[in-house]
Structure 1
Amino acid sequence: MILRKTALTFALAGVLMTPALTAQAALTWTTTPTKSQPSTLDAIDAKDGETWAVGTDLIDSFSDTRPLAFRWNGTRWIETPQPVRTNATLNAVAVVSAKEVWAVGDDRAVPEQTKPFAMRWNGTAWKVVPAPKTPAGSFSDVAIGPDGTPWASGWANVNGSEHAVVYRYVKGAWEQLASGLEDSINGNTLTVLSATNAWLGLNGGMAHFDGKTWKLVDEVPADGSQIPTDMVASGPKNIWASGVAHTSKGERPLVLHYDGKVWSKLPTPANASQLYDIALYKGQPVAVGEKFEESDSTIIAHPLVLSLKNGAFVETSSPAAKSGTLTGVEAVGNRLWTVGMQSQPLSDPTALAAHAG
């Protein structure tokens, strides 16, 4: 199974305490209008005053989709025209500057033949960037290296075998970094610290890239019991990952921390939930996702925000929504943004964007 944010998947170890980190104050959220038509937002990113959110227009529920990208102009969200009208989705976005933004996802123009999809904003318009040639695949994440090089992760059919993939976009072409990923499943999240120091969260485990090959780390099980979905780093000795842990009692939110030597799992609430994204807000980790409630034999998702308190992650206030999911979070100065979807049971979702601070 490939973990997808928009799929609403209903799908312990020693803990390293971090006493230097303190609790966040309660968050007060302000919802900002985006789009009233059926739609979702899956990711948000910002740099140097540029804030972008991407997702999917749901033309015919989840069966017919279009890319969706918003730019925050300081007052409101502005929807940007898309270069394709085929069945496609956007899963991630990375901002380089006002004149360079990358967004990736998958192209479903041909049924049952999903392929990687990438676009680049040049300051005035989105342009499709030809994706790697593969019979099937999808991009789950995009990251920008310190030298400005775009990296993308996901899965693809390579020589007849489907497994996780990572590509770098160098001199107008995708360079595959495949060594070590032959037996892996979907590259969910990617953090690039340098050309010889990158991390990849998989649908089973965590892998490190040394410039030549990917190698799984021992601390994060590769059996699918811990699935990282996003990462954020303030440096090579302070990396946080969010995701979902599959336990004998069901799905639980997952938060991992890397101190430069080892990955450790931190305590999280013991309720049915999972996390999709994590950010450092005023130096402290904040993770977002969804928690599940059963009502009349129907599973309903509710927005979930977790922050660190006394060495453990605890639930804090979330944007007001009767039901829905938070799929992205990003710190922009003194403001914390989150995006996702809100919905009523048995109805199509609509895009959600809110900020605190």
Structure 2
Amino acid sequence: MTKSTSRGRHTAAVLAAAAAATVGVGLVASPASAATSWESLTVPTTYASISVLPFDSQNAYAKSVPFCFDECTSSPKLWQKTGTAWKQVTTPSDAEVGVLAGTGVNDLWVFGSRYATTGSYRFNHYDGTKWTSNLNPEPKNAEVLDAQAVSRNDVWAVGNYRATDGGWHPMVTRWNGSSWKTTKLTGIDGQFDAVDVNSPTDIWAVGYRNKGGGTGGYQPLAMHYDGTTWSEVPVPETPGTMYILREVISNGPNDTWVAAGNKVSHWNGKTWTRHDTPASWPTFAYHGGQLYAGLAGSPKLVRWSGSAWVTDSSLTQGAQVDQLTTAPDGSLYAVHSEGNSVFWYNAFLSRLAPPAAR
């Protein structure tokens, strides 16, 4: 599935759940099932950090954040892909492009902030032709950091809620086709950074809880929604670290992965087990029922064999993977790059076609 665009997590409608649901964590992948042939695609712009929201082989949206040299302002830009061509989309003047979510070219949500003395958090919708601006019912308080569209009338977004006492609390808000309904977890000091939706009764949201007491650290926060109640599923932390969960992907309530840096944990419905990746900042996606992780280092792409992370060398360009995302048609997209963002930078976009039907 596809989601947020902050660092490049997976980004749009629901994952090809039928394929993913047939594979358990204990299934060992054969070499033949590894990625083999990536299609190289054009990128919308150069010298920019890119994240993509794909729908099929011909259509997608993308966000780009240009790299700044000396004194400049890095204003994010929005792009639309039709076939092989990208065109820039003019966005509302009242907000910057932040998180993207949607189900198609005529159904795009853009969440961002308005930078002004009267700044606020904006929820804007694009129907492919025109914008409906700021549908956020609480623009002074509700900030979205990740979102996922299940359908036109079912969109989930998470982030934080700025309370009147000055505290930040985890927040979940849902679009039902006509309005946003927000749940504020005011008993927790912290925020959600990522969300993954399998069904209305199986949703995960992760982020952090502030330890408080002047320690300056954070505890991992993972919560599950069963359609009625949000319940915390405590994740063991590594002592002495600032442990913020920034990634989550789930193949059901008993098969969920979360990550903080290279610290990766798996939930089997009863306990968490650690399966750290060989490099940091994993971005997860499924393809053909297999779990892949793109990494910000070497190796840049790995897949889960059922017992260990196995290097996949099929993605040849670039030094790291910034985003993996599965499109609704089952294809896997990778944004990968090389450079140090100061002297030079190259971004690449590749697509792995859906697995052939058996």
With structure 1 as the length reference, what TM-score do the two structures score?
0.73
Q: 1:166 aligns with which of 168, 172, 182?
A: 172
Q: What residue identity is the alignment partner of 1:187?
A: F
Q: CA RMSD in A?
A: 3.6
Q: 1:110 aligns with which of 112, 116, 119?
A: 116
Rounded to whole Å, the distance in 2 between the matches of 1:240 and 1:89 is 28
Q: What residue identity is the alignment partner of 1:208?
A: H
Rounded to whole Å, the distance in 2 between the matches of 1:178 and 1:134 is 14
Rounded to whole Å, the distance in 2 between the matches of 1:60 and 1:240 is 34
Q: 1:199 aligns with which of 200, 204, 207?
A: 204
Rounded to whole Å, the distance in 1 between the matches of 2:36 and 2:274 is 21
Q: What residue identity is the alignment partner of 2:234?
A: D
Deviations 1:181-214 (A, max 9, x none): 5324231111234444321011322111244543
The alignment status of 1:353 with 2:349, answered yes or no, reads yes
Aligned match of 2:50: 41
Rounded to whole Å, the distance in 2 between the matches of 1:50 and 1:127 is 25
Secondary structure in 2 aligned to 1:285? strand
Aligned match of 1:150: 155
Rounded to whole Å, the distance in 2 between the matches of 1:125 and 1:239 is 38
Q: Is the 8 A contact 2:195 2:206 kept in 1?
A: yes
Deviations 1:309-351 (A, max 9, x none): 2511133226444545412322564632112554345236454
The alignment status of 1:231 with 2:248, answered yes or no, reads yes
Aligned match of 1:99: 106
Shift of 1:162: 1.4
Q: What residue identity is the alignment partner of 2:38?
A: W
Rounded to whole Å, the distance in 1 between the matches of 2:152 and 2:42 is 35
Shift of 1:152: 0.9
Deviations 1:244-264 (A, max 9, x none): 24xxxxxx252x4344x2353
Rounded to whole Å, the distance in 2 between the matches of 1:185 and 1:238 is 25
Rounded to whole Å, the distance in 1 between the matches of 2:175 and 2:26 is 39
Rounded to whole Å, the distance in 1 between the matches of 2:246 and 2:151 is 22
Secondary structure in 2 aligned to 1:186? strand
Matches within 5 A, 1:336-347: 336-339=332-335, 341-344=337-340, 346-347=342-343
Q: Sequence identity of aligned pairs in percent?
A: 15
Structure 1 residue runs of 4 or more that deviate by more than 6 Å after TM superposition: none
The alignment status of 1:130 with 2:135, answered yes or no, reads yes
Secondary structure in 1 aligned to 2:300? strand
Structure with more of its chain in strand, by fraction = 1
Q: Is the 8 A contact 1:306 1:314 kept in 2?
A: yes
The alignment status of 1:244 with 2:260, answered yes or no, reads yes
Q: 1:282 aligns with which of 285, 288, 310?
A: 288
Inter-CA distance 346–66: structure 2 relative to 1 (3 Å threshold): closer
Q: Is the 8 A contact 1:94 1:102 kept in 2?
A: yes
Shift of 1:282: 0.5
Q: How many residues align?
A: 318
With structure 2 as the length reference, what TM-score do the two structures score?
0.73
